[in-house]
Amino acid sequence: MTILSVGIIPVRKSQADYEFLLLRCFKYWDFPKGETDSGEDPVSTALRELAEETTLDQVDFKWGEVFYETELYSKGKIARYYLGEVMGAAPIKLLANPETGIVEHHEYRWVNFAEGFKLANPRIQKVFEWAQNQLKNK
């Protein structure tokens, strides 16, 4: 059985280009994401996970609801990512998972494409490349 994990690639406009928000769990960097709840649509999951993991809750899907899906990984998971521009200047807080009480992420960083690509594993590097192409085509 395939498990769908859904998230947002959070971006914000910087002076020269866009910056991406990455979260670190141990040595692994990724975008905010998580599994859908029963009856929950993927976009709602992505927004919920962003808010739960970062406290960011204002997102503009200015590129539409297009998404990128990864290949299968980690016991049958597929990750789907939507690209969203974070609105406002709300501070990021890494909170505990509301179900487990465990803080899932140890650090966050706003990074440019080159910095993020260097931090990411090959699966997430493909997500970065897709997102960068979306940003350039708009």
pLDDT tens for residues 6-54? 999 999 998 888 999 999 999 999 999 999 988 999 999 999 999 999 9
- pLDDT exceeds cutoff 90 at 102: no
> Over the stretch 43-99, which tens digit does the pLDDT of each residue have?
999 999 999 999 999 999 999 999 999 999 988 999 999 999 998 767 898 888 888
- Please report, for the domain that includes residue 52, its CATH number: 3.90.79.10
Tokens of 123: 């699966």
pLDDT of residue 91: 83
pLDDT at 77: 93
* Residue pair 64/29 in contact by the 8 Å Cβ criterion: no
pLDDT at residue 14, rounded to an integer: 85
Number of domains in the chain: 1
- Measure CA 92 to chain center: 14
pTM of the model: 0.92
Longest dimension (CA), the chain: 44
Residue 136 has pLDDT above 80, yes or no: yes
Residue 100 pLDDT: 86
Q: Is the dihedral of CA 91, 112, 60, 81 positive or negative?
A: negative
- Which range of residues forms the domain containing residue 59? 3-136
Distance (Å, whole) CA 30 – CA 39:
25
Q: Tell whether the model's pLDDT for residue 122 goes beyond 80.
A: yes
